[in-house]
A and B are shown apart, each in its own frame.
Chain A
Amino acid sequence: MTDAASHDRKDADARQKRGIRRTALLLGGVALLFYAGFIALNAFFR
């Protein structure tokens, strides 16, 4: 692998890691929001 190719690969890996972290946090956040949100809505409108 040339230096340039190796550099590109590292960049792609870093981008992928960022993507994984962001998607996972977003989905986890949505799940938590739905959980707490449903309970809160029920408490509020009861």
Chain B
Amino acid sequence: MSTIATDVTTASHEDHDHGPATGLKRWLFTTNHKDIGTLYLLFSLLMFFVGGAMALVIRSELFQPGLQFVHPEFFNQMTTMHALIMIFGAVMPAFVGLANWMIPMMIGAPDMALPRMNNWSFWILPVAFIILLSTLFMPGGAPAGGWTMYPPLVLQLGDAFPFLIFSVHLMGLSSIMGAINVIVTIINMRTEEMTLLKMPMFVWTWLITAYLLIAVMPVLAGAVTMLLTDQFFGTSFFLAAGGGDPVMFQHIFWFFGHPEVYIMILPAFGIVSEIIPTFARKPLFGHDSMVYAASSIAFLSFIVWAHHMFTVGMPLTGQLFFMFATMLIAVPTGVKVFNWAATMWRGSMTFETPMLFSLAFLFLFTIGGFSGLMLAIVPADIQYHDSYFVVAHFHYVLVPGAIFGIMAAVYYWLPKWTGVMYNEKLGQWHFWLSTIFVNVTFFPMHFLGLAGMPRRIPDYATQFTDFNTVASIGAFGFGLSQLIFAYIIWQCALARQGQKATAQVWEDPKGLEWTVPSPAPYHTFDEPPHVTKHDSFD
């Protein structure tokens, strides 16, 4: 039990003692980290359903061989837009929302360091996605060349091209500003007694993620700027006819793209590292080694990018370097997985919804990790490349990996945010349906890929029918299960139905966020809190 008294943490000076503004103004002009966190999370939920609807268009078309519902051109638009929306609109903003809500409370800071920039980073996002989605109504339709935007294909887009480039720039700007805010807050605003190694793993993994974002988002921006100048300003960075090199774009894109994968998974590692100790009722095994493992993963993520492009042709030395460097990532990742397992060893475990999602994360993300290792092997990758095996791999990493991590976090902290305990029974239904259907959807894709079905096609040979039908049924089941999630959030956040949550919510959790009342007051830690032995993670 924390020794921090509630009256200290919620005490505020008279000139700060104001609640939120009312109406639309509150959300448009807010500089409060909790409000901005809420905006990010709601935006991400909306994008999750928009991107999910596009996934269901894809799965409907693939339910049977032959062309059923949509034109192949529109199918390609759906695959491209689904990826862009899920990556930049759903997963990344969800993590930024969680960072906004939790990092100041976890380090004992009153708010984020740059609150006005925080507001700006959020409000750029809806603009970016309105621009991106508007391309669906343009002559030539939305971007259809894949989220990787490879030239020369991407340069054949219709009117959508400059809108795509502008929206990617805006998404990048938003991410960079969000990352600057996270680093500046963690470096400068920790309460005095919160030394770096006393910080919770969620804060640590976000700090590392933010450095990754600052290193690679400008690279993506640079790459798409060069695409823009190639198309409109007579340059030929990537145009072979003008002496440029299209393969160079792939190198630059994946120099961004691979760290991006870790940007989407490291915060989930942090979340799971918070949740497993709480429900195993034991401290996290090897906190410091977790920090070093996350840092190693981040470092290695910069030197493995070409494993995405083994088939373009590269010297054997290059293939060997990228293959072995990729395999090396299994070492720090293994450290993490074994540390989580050791945390649970002889723990007094209970299986509430956040723990269930964390456990599913552990098992299913590991499957995605193993298929990643298979793809790292050059001769095997040359067979698997651009097949459904790759689709199965990255969906195992991103859905039961990143998205289950986000869902675990929402169930874990929702009572702290809203002051209302979610309905545990519904939470368990949501978990079991999601976990069953996620496997029904994505596991058969391994077999399809190994049997030779290429990705990004609207029609396929008849021998692939059965597994595709199963995957499509799974996708609809998964999609429908998410309505339970939306209902639970509505119940807690808007209808306020459910038991009132206590300050601690769970049984003796560690961390400063549990020392403030539930719901967390609009302003927390106006006076720096003390970090007791119980709430420090070293």
Contacts and interface: CB of A to CB of B under 8 A. Distances in A.
B183 A39 contact: no
B223 A23 contact: no
Contact of A38 (B218, B243, B244): B218
Contacts of B245: 46
A21 to B, nearest CB: 9
Contact of B187 (A23, A32, A33): A23
A14 interface: no
A31 B222 CA distance: 11
Contact of A23 (B183, B221, B252): B183
A38 B187 contact: no
Contacts of B184: 20, 23-24, 27
Given A20-B114, A27-B184, A34 B215 contact: yes
Contact of B188 (A19, A36, A42): A19
A45 B225 CA distance: 17
A24 B252 CA distance: 26
Given A27-B183, A46-B244, A35 B221 contact: yes
A24 B180 contact: yes
Contacts of A28: 180
A39 B187 CA distance: 30
Nearest to A32: B218
Contacts of A19: 187-188
A24 B218 contact: no
A28 B218 CA distance: 10
Interface in B423-459: none
B247 interface: no
A31 B214 CA distance: 6
Contacts of B166: none
Contacts of B223: 38
A19 B223 CA distance: 32
A27 B310 CA distance: 33
Interface string B36-66: 0000000000000000000000000000000
Interface string A2-39: 00000000000000100110011001101111111011
Contacts of B244: 46
B218 A16 contact: no
B214 A35 contact: no
Given A16-B188, A46-B244, A39 B225 contact: yes
For the side of the interface on A, what is the size category?
10 to 19
A33 B248 CA distance: 20
B237 interface: yes
A46 B219 CA distance: 17
B306 interface: no
A5 to B, nearest CB: 12
A27 B207 CA distance: 13
A13 B511 CA distance: 24
B83 interface: no
Nearest to B182: A27
A42 B237 CA distance: 7
A28 B252 CA distance: 21
A44 B317 CA distance: 26
B113 interface: yes
Interface string B359-382: 000000000000000000000000
Nearest to B177: A28
Nearest to B235: A43
Nearest to B249: A42
Nearest to A16: B188
B226 to A, nearest CB: 6
B423 to A, nearest CB: 41
Contacts of A31: 176, 180, 214, 217-218
B325 interface: no
A46 B244 CA distance: 7
Contact of B214 (A16, A27, A36, A39): A27
Nearest to A33: B218
B280 interface: no
Nearest to A38: B222
Nearest to B109: A16
B293 interface: no
Given A27-B184, A31-B176, A31-B180, A46 B222 contact: no
Interface of B: 113-114, 176, 179-180, 183-184, 187-189, 214-215, 217-219, 221-223, 225-226, 235, 237, 243-245, 248, 252
A-B CB proximity, top 8 nearest: A35-B218, A38-B222, A34-B218, A19-B188, A23-B184, A27-B180, A20-B113, A39-B222
Given A27-B214, A35-B219, 17 more contacts: A16-B188, A20-B114, A20-B184, A24-B113, A24-B180, A24-B184, A27-B184, A28-B180, A31-B214, A34-B214, A35-B221, A38-B222, A38-B223, A39-B222, A43-B235, A46-B237, A46-B243
28 contacts: A16-B188, A16-B189, A19-B188, A20-B113, A23-B184, A23-B187, A24-B180, A27-B179, A27-B180, A27-B183, A27-B184, A31-B176, A31-B214, A31-B218, A34-B215, A34-B218, A35-B225, A36-B222, A38-B223, A39-B222, A39-B226, A42-B226, A42-B248, A42-B252, A43-B235, A43-B237, A46-B243, A46-B244
